[in-house]
Amino acid sequence: MTDEGLTRRRALAMSGLALTGGLAGCGSDSDGDGPGGEPSSPGDTATRGSGGDTPTDGSTESTGGADTGGDGTPAGTAAFEDLTVRAERVASGFTSPLALSIPEPGRRFVVDQSGQIHLYEDGRLREEPFLDVSDRMVDVGGYSEQGLLGLAFHPEFAENGRFFVRYSAPAREWVPDDYSHTFVCSEFRADPGAATADPGSERVVVEIAQPQSNHNAGAIAFGPDGYLYVATGDGGRANDQGVGHVDDWYDAVGGGNGQDVTENLLGSMLRIDVDGEASGTPSGGGGGTTAGSDGPVRDYAVPEDNPLVGSDGLDEQYAWGFRNPWRFSFGPDDRLFVGDVGQGAWEEVSVVERGGNYGWNVKEGTHCFQAEDCPSESPRGRPLRDPVIEYPHGGADVSGIAVIGGYRYGGDAIPDLRGRYLFADWRAGGRLFAARETDEGLWPTTTVSVDSNEQFGPMVLSFGRNPAGELFVCTTASGQVSGESGAVFRLTGA
């Protein structure tokens, strides 16, 4: 398969647009208005490197010491085997490829944070974008966690031509004056075999007021049940506090949205029915179906078996207690895997279940956050669920600063990975990580070497999977490089 870079005309058009991680480690945690300089990580909050420096954001000190095993890896997550994969570059020249969707064999759709969806088919990258929504977005120049963040094709796209995108729009009229922007998830339509979609076909499905510019999550995907799952971050800044972060039940840390299920839809995994007809006043505040009107658009139905339907809470909620769930996937066994970016000490991946509370901001990973002791359940009696994968910001082979959720491998090209969960960190030096499931406790994790004759990363932005279960990786050379360093690689056996 040939490697197709973008045309010079597109490369020039992209100049000046920053290639950013977009994944929100702790970007702009200090004031919510974006870092003023060039960050060394997805954000300006201090993070640990190999030296184990103490973070300055007030998060709990925990890495590299008492909670590690004799080989320097966290207890319960020692490396289990040596793994190597081969990476073949299949497309390049992107600004910031944050997602890859492959609804059918031979057609790969690359989501570029700058606002374009690009189609790769017949061994080449189409010159004209499949869809461009940059004129509907906020500016994403410089460091930004906003932009075009997600793409999901309807399960019956081949018949109905429906697909859904998630992007950051300017603040609507109903958004509070001190908020940053508007979370938008919209439906578009295209002839299923066409090279371009109809930009005028947009139907806004979900709008949410975003307090700060960071912690936007952004992934969307249809589950095996046919419903659309939507990840939302906690609203931004450090500690889940500040403008737009509500009071919750946990007094040790003031705020916030991760533990709230009644005031807004932030810090959660949502599940909605985009095939059903909306009825009545939508939950989560406001109503109406017109962008820019007196309330957010909520044009969908709610699955009757969502966990808070008929009780005190917002009906769209499927699971909560997240800080910034950057990328999620459904495994071959239909389980939902969610990578949640930590603050200053721990990164985590959880197997998410209906009605589950995943701890933020009571806990960061399996550790109490800003407290020596913390409860193990909410006042409703729901347990705070621990992740299945956890790694520190330093002091171990498997370490980093912002987790990139991946996939449980179910393909045939890499037999050594079959059944393993493959994931990465935004700044893992071109390596990948793999985890092996255990019956209880944290899953053992290990580094995965990448053999490639083209530069791989060194930063990873996201993963993609084709209908056969084979995996792809979206990378960039540097989190602050504009232009054409973004690339897509196909993984095979070494």
Residue 405 resides in a domain: yes
Contact indicator for 374, 381 with CB cutoff of 8 Å: no
Contact indicator for 422, 406 with CB cutoff of 8 Å: yes
Q: What is the sign, positive or negative, of the torsion defined by CA atoms of 453, 454, 460, 463?
A: negative
Mean pLDDT, residues 238-264:
94
Contact indicator for 383, 376 with CB cutoff of 8 Å: yes
For residue 247, the tally of other CB atoms under 10 A from its CB is 12
Residue 377 has pLDDT above 90, yes or no: yes
Q: Which two tokens stand for residue 238?
A: 């450090």
**CA distance to 70, 105, 373, per residue, from 239 (Å):** 31, 43, 17
Mean pLDDT, residues 315-327:
98
> Which CATH number does the domain housing residue 167 bear?
2.120.10.30
- The pLDDT of residue 480 is 56
Q: Which two tokens stand for residue 205?
A: 């499905």
For residue 327, the tally of other CB atoms under 10 A from its CB is 29
Number of H helices, E strands in the chain: 2, 27
- The pLDDT of residue 430 is 82
**CA distance to 64, 369, 409, per residue, from 97 (Å):** 32, 32, 21
pLDDT tens-digit profile of 323-334? 999 999 999 889
Residue 3 resides in a domain: no
Residue 36 has pLDDT above 90, yes or no: no
Q: ∠ at Cα 160 (169, 406), nearest 5°?
A: 60
Contact indicator for 352, 343 with CB cutoff of 8 Å: no
Residue 2 resides in a domain: no
| Range of the structural domain that residue 117 is part of | 8-493
Give the dihedral of Cα atoms 475, 480, 484, 486; nearest 10 deg: 10
Residue 162 has pLDDT above 80, yes or no: yes
- The pLDDT of residue 56 is 31
- The pLDDT of residue 278 is 82
306 φ, ψ to 5°?
A: -60, 145
3-state secondary structure of 258: helix
Q: Which two tokens stand for residue 337?
A: 């895997």
Residue 314 has pLDDT above 80, yes or no: yes
Residue 93 resides in a domain: yes
Give the dihedral of Cα atoms 299, 303, 307, 309; nearest 10 deg: 70
Q: Which two tokens stand for residue 100?
A: 């890859």
pLDDT tens-digit profile of 198-235? 999 999 999 999 999 999 999 999 999 999 999 999 99
pLDDT tens-digit profile of 428-464? 788 999 999 999 999 999 999 999 989 998 999 999 9
Residue 165 resides in a domain: yes
Please report, rounded to a whole number, the percentage of residues in the chain having pLDDT higher than 90.
71
Residue 38 has pLDDT above 80, yes or no: no
Residue 249 resides in a domain: yes
- The pLDDT of residue 80 is 55
- The pLDDT of residue 144 is 80
For residue 38, the tally of other CB atoms under 10 A from its CB is 11
Looking at 24-38, 171-185, 357-371, which range is the least confident one? Answer: 24-38
Q: Which two tokens stand for residue 17?
A: 């647009």
Burial 333-351 (b: 16+ CB within 10 A, else e): eebbbbbbbbbbbbbbbbb
- The pLDDT of residue 141 is 72
Q: What is the mean pLDDT of the chain?
A: 84
**Bridge partners for 230 per DSSP:** 220, 270
Residue 384 has pLDDT above 90, yes or no: yes
* 33/179 Cα distance (integer angstroms): 10
Question: What contacts 298, CB < 8 A, 6 or more positions away?
Answer: 206, 207, 278, 282, 283, 284, 286, 287, 289
Question: Is 72 or 448 the better-scoring residue by pLDDT?
Answer: 448
Residue 305 resides in a domain: yes
Residue 34 resides in a domain: yes
Mean pLDDT, residues 372-386:
94
What's the structural domain count of the chain?
1
Burial 394-411 (b: 16+ CB within 10 A, else e): bbbbbbbbbbbbbbbbbb
- The pLDDT of residue 388 is 98
SS3 content of the chain, % helix, strand, coil (to 5): 5, 35, 60
Q: Which two tokens stand for residue 164?
A: 């859904």
Going by C-alpha positions, the residue among 215, 477, 188 that lies closest to residue 323 is 215
Residue 47 has pLDDT above 60, yes or no: no
Report CA 209 to chain centroid distance, whole Å: 18
Please report, rounded to a whole number, the percentage of residues in the chain having pLDDT higher than 70.
80
Supply the pTM of this predicted model.
Answer: 0.86
Q: Which two tokens stand for residue 253?
A: 């840390």
Contact indicator for 249, 239 with CB cutoff of 8 Å: no
Q: What is the sign, positive or negative, of the torsion defined by CA atoms of 372, 375, 378, 384?
A: positive
Question: Is 482 or 339 the better-scoring residue by pLDDT?
Answer: 339
Residue 172 has pLDDT above 60, yes or no: yes
